[in-house]
Structure 1
Amino acid sequence: MIYQSDQLTITRLEGDIAELNFDLQGESVNKFDQATVASLTAGLDALEAESGIKGLLVTSGKPVFIVGADITEFVSLFGASKEEIKPFTGTNNKNFNRLAALPYPSAVAINGFAMGGGLEVCLACDFRIMSTAAKVGLPETKLGILPGWGGTVRLPRIIGVDEAVMWMATGADKRPDDALKAGAVDAIAAPEQLRDVALATLNNAVEGNLDYEARRAEKHGPLPLNDIEAMMSFFTIKSMVGQQAGKNYPAPIKVVDVIEQARKMSLEEALDVEAEGFAELATTPVAAALVGVFLNDQLLGKVAKGWEKKADKKIEHAAVLGAGIMGGGIAYQSAFKGTPIKMKDINQDGLDLGLSEANKLLAKRVAKGRMTPAKMGDVLNSIDPTLTYAGFEDVDIVVEAVVENEKVKGIVLAETEKNIDKDAVLASNTSTISITRLAENLERPENFCGMHFFNPVHAMPLVEVIRGEKTSDNAIARTVAYANKMGKKAVVVNDCPGFLVNRVLFPYFGGFNALLRDGADFQAIDKVMERFGWPMGPAYLMDVVGIDTGVHAANVMAEGFPDRMQPDFKSATEVMFELERYGQKNGKGFYEYVTDKRGKPKKVVNEDVYGMIADVCGDRAEFEKDDIIMRMMLPMAIEMARCVEEGIVGTPAEADLALLYGVGFPPFRGGIFRWMDTVGMATIAAASEKFASLGKAYELTDNMKDMLANGKTYY
């Protein structure tokens, strides 16, 4: 044994080969936390002192290779200066440089995920052999930063600038075939053959059959581009990356800047440029927000896993009631993720529509090469369309997804309960109707909860699991377990009008309608909120949601919270509804929709709409951008604060992710609570005072006032 710690070991193998094995004790994965970085430094000290070594094999003792840096340790850097942040990357950069400069060749066996720093240590090795079961990537830009351990320096010199920028700018995982084609790895091997292939490659280099020194020279020198080639290449790359990333995500374009700036430099000089770029990005609120989203997502996953462990049985067979677009989407998602499902409707046309929806989604996967026709057949065969309750006694969970009408749902749920096992969970995919009220006609309300999917089901990650007054923990646990199995992000919330997402979304729409009442242009509002970061502005979003659906939900919210959600004026949205302009579903709403060449609805403006809503809108007026943002965002933020204070949702982290995953809140802002922390409670309070005349929806809660007085933040 050359070196041993709780993070890694270095042993001497036959033939004077040393093996560096990463195996972080007490963890399911390897990561570069501070302890591992320190152990690598000590291990390299021992390795350099060991005589007679001819080659180094780098391996992992985990099912994955190394998942990257420990992001939880990175959080402490936020709020620090660039000068304070730069040393964060220094120690491990020295480690990787030492590894790359050993007086003998090195080869790495990449047996599983090698992400971020996990791939960067591989790039420091001379030869890279990748398992067919592995994936590699540099996802740092997804966190608002850039690779800080040599990724921006070594990868372009190994696979070329264009390809390297795409890897880093998108942050995408790369499969073995893609990595081999790009030249990022030298060979791929089946998992059981990986070690042997890596050792054989290393021995070939030891014997002089592979020139590892030439490879090192390429990684240490300037990029092989003359000035004209560089000018053309970087101009094109910047244009493409800037267009794809947008102005709200600075990290991808900073990657290009760093590579361009360091293109003529030596390795050490280029690493200094990288460190400067890393530190610059780490000081931005975007990095704090995106790292926060990552950590919140981990928290949400742990909470969901915790619920799943409490479930007394697995969900092995499911059913959905109502086979329209929503029911078909639920059936598809369940079957695609491995849970057979019955799909019941009261007529054959409904079943045909549901099956058509599932078939369409599966056919797209086949067309893109992401699924074989045989697998598509297997998934379709696990969807059992039926007009009766035959076989429902064998299902573990039933999701009701019929029309959003309390009376109809009540009848269907009571009927279904009589046809399922007494132990089965019954869930309603309602978006607004009280779970407690729906449970009143059930014999086993403890087995009933809400399971609110968002449309389209296959694309929207969020599922709200709603607890009624009599819902048992076991029903929640089983439902969360089913959501997990479907690949969804489950957030458990308590029952109230609109639950969580819709409860906070409709004050946002209320702000929109009040702006129109006061003379704002709906197109101007959309543009401001899209620049704020929303994927679509409120008028466009209402069209997509469905104006009829929106008006129905707004009435539910007004009944539930009349003090702040009952408007004292007739809204433009109500006018749209009365004119049967329901949005995309019938081709006309605030905008009108025509089918483009790809068969998708394209938004167009009809100036006549302004005349239609003129009676409920004031004279056209210009509004400051910041006033539009605060009039839209403040009611949503305050209502979300109420939801946390009332215990509707457990934590600000879960609340923030619910908005990100449910309605597309701008990820670079981190969530509604992260946004409030970023702008500061003093700014929120000033806006509340400025718009106090607009009503209680703009009034801070007592807890928010306390936070202001005591300098507290949500994170």
Structure 2
Amino acid sequence: MIYQGNAITVERRDTQGGNSIATLTFDLKDESINKLSSAVIQELGEAVSAIESERDLKGLLIRSGKDVFIVGADITEFHSLFDKGEAYLEQMNLKVHEIFNAIEDLPFPTVAAINGLALGGGCEVLLTCDFRVMSEKGKMGLPETKLGILPGWGGCVRLPRLIGADNAIEWIAGGTENRPDAALKMGAVDAVVVHDQLEAAALDMLDRANADELDYQRRRDEKKGPLKLNAIEQMMAFETAKGYVAGKAGPHYPAPIEAIKVIQKGAGEERGRAQAIEAKAFAKLAMSPVAFNLVGLFMNDQVVKKKAGKYEKLARPVEQTAVLGAGIMGGGIAYQSASKGTPILMKDIKSDAIELGLKEARKLFGKQVERKKFTVEEMAQKLTNIRPTLSYGDFENVDLVVEAVVENPKVKAGVLAEVEKSVGENTILTSNTSTISINRLAQSLERPQNFCGMHFFNPVHRMPLVEVIRGEKTSDEAVAATVAYARAMGKTPIVVNDCPGFLVNRVLFPYFGGFSFLVEQGADFQRVDKVMEKFGWPMGPAYLLDVVGMDTAVHANEVMAEGFPERMAREGKTAIQVMYENDRLGQKNAKGFYAYEEDKKGKPKKVTDDQAYALIKQVAGERKEFSDEEIIARMMTPLCLETVRCLEDGIVDTPAEADMALIYGIGFPPFRGGALRYIDAMGLDTFVAQAEKLGEELGPLYAPTEKLKQMAQNGERFYQAKA
């Protein structure tokens, strides 16, 4: 044994070619994956020093003892590391470079055997090697830009020299995970082999390098020298890429552009200088609020997944499901279930509705074939997972039912009571309601313990969130089965308790309330849209209302007003009601706050409509200019306050789940971290003062809770110690 640590062992072994080599194995104790924590990096430095001290070695094999290679750095450490400041981070990265460079400079050939995921720092480890062999099960990539940072341990230096600047920019700026065929085509790996042959192939490569069949020194020199691009080629590669990537990333995500600049600045430099440029840029980005919030999102996502995983362990198998209601929503649910491998019955009372649902599913499968996600044969096979029916004849073997009929409490209650008589005693019933109380719907059921909400967001195939709503009588088994089914469908389930609007819609409608106040006081709704889109929302409130549908918005708002009259009930008409009464429903009938025309791809394109402005005069005061800051405060304050109330009322368990639900459900700007992180970033005392000032003018929708005021006085946060 050359070295033994908690995560790394190094052993001497002989190859078939008779060469004595070192095998460095990453196998972190008591973990299912390998990750590069500060402690593991320290071990790696010690292990490399031990290898350097050994005599007569002819090679190094780096491998993993787990199903993954290395999934990256330990992101749970990031906030505490970032808190140490820019200078510390720069020096930390330079120390890691010293360790990685020591691997690259060993006096014999080196090879990495990539058996599974090799991401971030894990990918940067294998880039230090002279050769890389990948299993058919492997993937590699540098996803750091998705966390608001850039590869800081040599990825921006070594990858462009290995696969070319254009390809490296695509990998790094896009943060992609790359399959073996793509990695081989680009030259990121030297061979792809069947999984069982991985280690043998890697050892063979070392033998061939020692026999001078493979020139490892030439490979090494290419990685350590400047990029082989002349000035014109550099300008073409980098300036074109910056323009394209800036358009894709948008103004709120600086990391992809910074990564390109780092590659560009280091292009003409030797290894050491290029790495110094990279280390400095990493440290600067890491100190930004965007990086802090995106790392926070990753941590929140882990909380959500961990909680869902605990439910999943309690769940009975869900092997056959059904959806009631075969419209666009029912077809979307059927598609999602079938595409992920869970067979589903699609029932309706009308054959033309069945055809509509099947048409929707076929359209979605067709798009996946166009994108080469499925072959035509795979699509045909997956379509057989959807079985249309006009009766309950086959429902006795169904494990879980999703009711997705019209959003009407009487209709839903009747359908649920009807289907309950046709299923087994243990079948779970769920309702895809967006606003109707689960406790109310449960009153019509004989087995309310088997019933909960399963709220999908439209369009089903794109929106990641599913709200699983627990009623007063819902059992843990029902929740567990529904969570497990949502996960099997590729969705992120978040469990919430019953109340009007549940979590997401309850929080969204105060935001629309803020919009209504602005319009009534003379704000131009198009300017409000532009300001909120600049703030980071994918669409402004007027545009979002057009997408949601004015009829849906009016109905949901009535539910909210009934449930929370002191905050959400309004006297007189709002601009939303004016649109609804004048049959301007939004995109569904091509007129709302905007009018809609088809673009070249047949998708609705919004255009200004003077008639909308004329109608709004019924409720709007004299035109008034509001600053960007005023618009943002008036829109965001009621949304954030309602999120706080949901947490205080126990509708959602944790700040992490509340923030993730808003990001996954309504497109809250991810770089801002969620409503509660947004309050933390502003400071609770500042936020409370802003809310109190607005509340004096605009009423209870803007009033901070007593508990929030107390938190502000005590200097508390929703996320303690930047974790």
Structure 1 residue 143, shift from structure 2 partner: 0.3
- Structure 2 counterpart of 1:69: 73
Please give the residue correspondences for 1:596-611 in structure 2 after superposition, counting only pairs within 5 Å: 596-611=599-614
1:542-592 per-residue CA deviation (whole Å, 9 max, x = no partner) reads 011111000000010001001000122311110110011111111111111
Give the secondary-structure state (helix, strand or coil) at the position aligned to 2:402: strand
Partner residue in 2 for 1:7: 7
> Does structure 1 retain, via aligned residues, the 8 Å contact 2:322–2:346?
yes
Which aligned pairs between 1:368-379 and structure 2 lie closer than 5 A? 368-379=371-382
2:679 matched to 1:676? Answer: yes
Q: How does 1:203-602 map to 2 (within 5 A)?
A: 203-311=207-315, 313-602=316-605
Shift of 1:79: 3.5
CA deviation after TM superposition for structure 1 residue 232, in Å: 3.1
* Structure 2 residue aligned with 1:659: 662
Query: Contact (CA 8 Å) 2:692, 2:704: kept in 1 or not?
Result: no
Which amino acid in 2 is paired with 1:174?
Answer: N
In the alignment, is residue 700 of structure 1 matched against residue 704 of structure 2?
Answer: yes
Q: CA RMSD in A?
A: 1.0
- TM-superposed CA distance for 1:163, in Å, is 1.3
Residue from 68, 88, 91 that aligns with 2:92: 88
> d(CA) in 2 for partners of 1:68 and 1:384?
42
Structure 2: gaps of 5 or more residues = none
Check the 8 A contact 1:321/1:400 in 2, yes or no: yes
Report the equivalent of 2:129. Answer: 125
1:644 equivalent in alignment to 2:643 = no
| CA deviation after TM superposition for structure 1 residue 87, in Å | 2.8
SS in 2 for 1:441: coil
Q: Distance in 1 between matches of 2:707 and 2:665?
A: 26
Q: Counterpart in 2 of 1:158?
A: 162
SS of match in other structure, 2:597: strand
* Distance in 2 (alpha carbons) for counterparts of 1:88 and 1:649: 38
C-alpha distance in structure 1 between counterparts of 2:343 and 2:143, whole Å: 34
365-374 or 521-530, which moves further after superposition?
A: 365-374
Partner of 2:493, secondary structure, is: strand
1:613 alignment partner in structure 2: 616
The DSSP-based 3-state class of the residue aligned with 1:9 is strand
Q: Which moved more, 1:418-427 or 1:3-12?
A: 3-12
Kept in 2, the 8 Å contact 1:37–1:91? The answer is no
- Aligned 8 A contact 1:80 1:283 in 2: no
Segments of structure 1 that go 5 or more residues without pairing to the other structure are none
CA distance in 1, matches of 2:414, 2:116: 51
Return the alpha-carbon distance in structure 2 between the equivalents of residues 674 and 400 of structure 1. 35
Q: Distance in 1 between matches of 2:441 and 2:191?
A: 59
Which residue identity is paired with 1:352? E
- Paired letter, 1:475: A
Secondary structure in 2 aligned to 1:634? Answer: helix
How far 1:137 moved relative to its partner? 0.5
* Shift in Å, 1:406: 0.4
Q: % of aligned pairs identical?
A: 58
Determine the C-alpha separation between the residues in 2 that align with 1:396 and 1:383.
Answer: 15
What amino acid is aligned across from residue 202 of structure 2 in structure 1?
Answer: A
CA distance in 1, matches of 2:342, 2:256: 39
Which of 47, 51, 59 lines up with 1:47 in the alignment? 51
Q: What is the aligned length? A: 714
Q: Secondary structure at the match of 1:649?
A: coil
**Alignment match of 2:187 (pick from 163, 183, 186):** 183
TM-score (norm 1): 0.99
Distance in 1 between the 2:30 and 2:174 partners? Answer: 32
1:231 CA displacement: 2.7
For 1:514 and 1:394, the matched residues in 2 are separated by 51
Question: Tell me, what secondary structure is at the counterpart of 1:96?
Answer: helix
Q: CA deviation at 1:131?
A: 1.3
> SS of the counterpart of 2:291?
helix
Aligned equivalents of 2:85 and 2:63: distance in 1? 36
Q: Deviations over 1:214-257 (max 9, x none)?
A: 11111111111222332333221221121111110011111112
Structure 2 distance, partners of 1:387, 1:128, is 56
Q: Please say if residues 452 and 470 of structure 2, whose CA atoms lie closer than 8 Å, have aligned partners that are also in contact.
A: yes
Which residue of 1 is the match for residue 36 of structure 2? 32
Moved over 3 A (4+): none
Question: CA shift at 1:300, angstroms?
Answer: 0.4
In the TM superposition, residue 88 of structure 1 has moved relative to its aligned partner by 2.9
Higher mean displacement: 173-182 or 685-694: 685-694
State the partner residue of 1:194: 198
Q: Contact 2:437/2:500 (CA < 8 Å) preserved in 1?
A: yes
Residue 330 of structure 1 and its aligned partner are, at CA, apart by 0.7
In 2, Cα distance between equivalents of 1:164 and 1:132: 21
One-letter identity of the residue aligned with 1:385: P
The residue type paired with residue 78 of structure 1 is: F
Kindly indicate whether the alpha-carbon contact (under 8 Å) linking 2:94 and 2:276 is maintained by their aligned counterparts in 1.
Answer: no
- Name the CA distance, whole Å, in 1 between partners of 2:370 and 2:262: 38
Cα drift, residue 648 of structure 1: 0.2
User: Equivalent residue of 2:35, what SS?
Assistant: coil
Over residues 499-553 of structure 1, what are the superposed CA-to-partner deviations in whole Å (9 max), with x where a residue is unaligned? 0000000000000011000000110000000001000000010011111000000
Listed one character per residue, the Cα deviations across residues 653-674 of structure 1 (whole Å, up to 9, x for unaligned) are: 0000000000111110111111
Asked whether the 8 Å contact 1:134–1:176 carries over to 2, the reply is yes
Deviation at 1:91, TM superposition (A): 3.1
Counterpart of 1:254, as a letter, is: E
Q: Deviations over 1:406-428 (max 9, x none)?
A: 01011101111111101111100
For 2:391, the aligned partner's letter is T
Q: Does 272-281 or 598-607 show the bigger shift? A: 598-607
How far 1:90 moved relative to its partner? Answer: 3.1
Q: Is 1:77–1:282's contact at 8 Å kept on the other side of the alignment?
A: no
Aligned to 1:116: 120
Does 336-345 or 1-10 show the bigger shift? Answer: 1-10
Q: Give the Cα–Cα distance (whole angstroms) in 2 for the partners of residues 32 and 528 of structure 1.
A: 41
**Structure 1 residue 77, shift from structure 2 partner:** 2.4
Residues 320-364 of structure 1: CA distance to partner in whole angstroms, max 9, x if unpaired? 100001111111111111111111000101100111111111111
